[in-house]
Amino acid sequence: MLFPMSVRFKIFSKYLLFILVINAAILLGLEGLARLFISSPRKFFIESRDAQGKVRVQYRKGPLKPEFPKVKDPESLRIFAFGGSTVLGFPYYPYSSFAAMLALALQKSDPGRKIEMSNLGLSGMNSLEIKHCLLESLRYSPDLVIIYAGHNEFFQASLIPDWKYPRLDRLLEWFRAHSRLYQVLTRMDFFLPMIPSAIGTRQELTEKINLDFEQVPMESQPMSREYYQNRIQGYRYHLEQILSRLDQQKIPVLLCTVASNLKDWPPEWLPAPENVSAQEWKDLKQELLSADQDLGENKLDQAEPILARLKPVIPQYAMYNFLSGWLEEKRGNFTLARDYFLLARKYDNSRHRAPPEINAIIHELAARHRVALVDVEKLFFQNSKTTPGFDLFLDHVHPNLSGQRLIAQALFHGLAEQKMIRPAMPVPAFPSEDDFRKAFSLTDEILAEIHIRLATYYLLQRHLPEQDHQTIQLLQEIISRKPQDLFAGICLAAILLEDSRTEAGIQALNQTIQRAGGISQVQKTLERYFFPHLLVQGDYVLVHLNRDPTVAPLSGILLVRKAPEKTRSRSALPLDQYHWIFQYFPQTRELKEVTEPVRKLALAEQALCSAEKYKTLNMVNYISGNLKYLSANQAHLSGGINELKIDLFGPDPWLIIPIKLEPATVHSLKLRLAIKPENGLLNQSELNMYWSGSDPPVFSEQQKLSLPLKADGKFQELSIDLSRNINWLSSKKTMFLRLDPATFSGQARIREFKIQFCVPAGASTPSP
């Protein structure tokens, strides 16, 4: 029976109302539950009472965490500075920033007035987070707001384009300010990263966490045009809201344009130019690389015809314009070079620096809202030798001390024009760079340490024209000051090798190992910073370098992993992917290059296993049937058809299994192992596997694999690809395996222990 339309509509309306009421009740219930555990909405600022009972406010984000009294002294000048890592003062914090320089200059100029400078910068902070933070900060009565922002708009962003849906944005703003359930959702980002994004809150650079070195990081991938336009419009929307609120509360603002390293920092190679096939792009890229190399070697006559040939083909490709800029720079045509560098930034698809539209928006909104504009970009052009480069920057966007001082000085003059400072008479000169170094205790040693981190973190990862010598000089400087810095030594060796200076690279690596007193300490450094691109296996050092200049030469290896210990469980790269392999001889403390013989070993293994004809040796059955051939120390073994049981007692239990194996034939090893300590107090253990080719066996740390295990009595499966272990492949015929299942009293049980190996036709299963 069909109901009339009016009746069906009423039924549907009732069902819809019922669903809405139920959902509202669920949300209210969850909100009430959240309020039982969370006392107040999540804030950028935390209030607390000091020993005198006065309320103080602390900015809870960022490494600086400035603090100030809640009640402002009427005679003080309270300034809040907002922005990303440039405002924070990267890489000089906590020593220096342009905000700190400005505060010092203001104090010298007006010594009778208290200057309260709160640096509210945060690495990766974009306009949305600045808006949230600034709106919350207004309750603390700032006398002046400084905004320097625009470089971080293209990282992780809200899934909801708030500029398109202002009403929804206002609802989310209310939800954010008052809801405890919102706080629960944002704190679930580790488990459910899409929830915070979906409600417009996720602004951290999450792509930098848990990196997968086999994939291109999100921040290095090209942006779609839609995403790009959304972020530009989002920046305009957020800045408009910020300036409107400041205007309503009549709080003066100094709004800054943002500056970039145009001359000495190349654009991204991605994406490929439009309307160019894959094969055409391959050829075009090779021509660009040839021109790049010619420019680096000052072969301008060879670079010029290449670039002239490419001009009609890819006139709007960023790297073409960047190289054309360098051609004109070397010729002394600085105005034309600057035009090319500006075009390179315009066509760059990088997420790492602001495009021209950002500064255009800043100029437009500053004029509309009649706020004081500090044109930092123009200032850098005026003070650069030609086009802003490493004379004012340390990397792509972060100014050096000279650049920071320029910004501070411009802000100082902006305050003077706003008549917000009362300079002493006579007016003191603006502090010099040396004055700031002394005031902030920026010693040569501290600056050298800062520069080395920059050299290794940035310059090693980018192909910069004629800048390798600067990196090498910085690395050598820190090594001379701090010989124990293994990180610097390994970086120096890496860049020398990447630059095909093999002899110098080997010497630098050798010296680093000698300073470390052996290879084990170098291993720890490599595991923390470089794994798996550089690693040690026994006495071998393997160096993998990406020689393609169109991507970062050492991409990813210098990013310190959040949990360095996890790197030990990652498998190594195939041996044919390592550009250099060295063997270290502890007795003579010598390092020798052995790349070719090791590659032959790897190729032999690959050839043998290419047909994927494997045989499997069931070690559980093998051991159970040959107990009389085994020897043990502080351990007792009992065997069965499906399981081995090892009782462990004493400080160093182990088990030796006699077996003849050709290392190159063994492809992989699998274990299902459970370890349970007697006292049950430990929860982490490891399985050490040694091998020996002598009779009687001699075991060494060089011929060893260490595998982490949980000591909870539960079976865990371990799969080991021995074809990637150079130490295993380069050893003699293995006659004995030694298993050290733990270093405590207890029990180990093995249910599966299989060795898979590739065999020539007619070969038999290994026997004792």
Provide the pairing of β-strand 144-148 with 77-83: parallel
Q: Is the pLDDT of residue 726 over 60?
A: yes
Average pLDDT of the residues in 402-429: 85
Written as one string, the DSSP assignment of 496-554 is HHHTT-HHHHHHHHHHHHHHHTSHHHHHHHHHHHTTTTEEEETTEEEE-----TTS-TT
Coil/strand/helix, residue 6 = helix
Q: Which residues contact residue 631 at a Cβ distance below 8 angstroms, ignoring those fewer than 6 apart?
A: 655, 656
B/e letters for 474-486, b = 16+ CB within 10 Å, e = fewer, are bbebbbeebeebb
Q: Who wins on pLDDT, 183 or 572?
A: 572
pLDDT tens-digit profile of 531-563? 667 778 888 888 887 666 666 544 444 444 444
Whole-number Å distance between alpha carbons of 704 and 520: 13
Model pLDDT, residue 31: 64
606 token code pair = 């690959």
Confidence band of 435 (pLDDT split at 50, 70, 90): very high
162 token code pair = 């708030």
Distance of CA 244 to the CA centre of its chain: 36
Beta bridge partners of 118: 80
Position 226, amino acid: E
224 token code pair = 């779609």
Q: What 8-state DSSP symbol labels residue 576?
A: G
Model pLDDT, residue 768: 54
Alpha helices in 259-317 (DSSP H): 278-296, 300-310
Contact 105, 408 (CB under 8 A): yes
pTM strictly above 0.85:
no
Q: Is the pLDDT of residue 191 over 50?
A: no
Q: Is the pLDDT of residue 519 over 90?
A: no
pLDDT tens-digit profile of 118-146? 999 988 899 988 998 999 999 999 999 99
Among 169-173, 519-523, 705-709, which stretch is predicted with the lowest mean pLDDT? 169-173
Q: Which residues contact residue 202 at a Cβ distance below 8 angstroms, ignoring those fewer than 6 apart?
A: 156, 157, 158, 186, 189, 193, 196
* Cis amide bond preceding 426, omega within 30: yes
* Cis amide bond preceding 271, omega within 30: yes
Q: Is the pLDDT of residue 744 over 90?
A: no
Average pLDDT of the residues in 430-440: 94
Backbone dihedral region for residue 251 (phi beyond 0: left; psi -120 to 50: alpha; all else: beta): beta
Q: What 8-state DSSP symbol labels residue 663?
A: G
Whole-number Å distance between alpha carbons of 756 and 759: 10
Q: Which residues contact residue 515 at a Cβ distance below 8 angstroms, ignoring those fewer than 6 apart?
A: 483, 484, 486, 489
Contact 518, 584 (CB under 8 A): no
Confidence band of 202 (pLDDT split at 50, 70, 90): very low
Mean of all residue pLDDT scores within the chain:
81
pLDDT tens-digit profile of 565-583? 444 455 667 788 888 899 9
Position 38, amino acid: I
Position 440, amino acid: F
Model pLDDT, residue 391: 92
B/e letters for 584-600, b = 16+ CB within 10 Å, e = fewer, are beeeeeebeebbeebee
561 token code pair = 């992993």
Closest by CA to 152, choosing from 180, 127, 178, is: 127
638 token code pair = 């009992």
Whole-number Å distance between alpha carbons of 234 and 157: 10
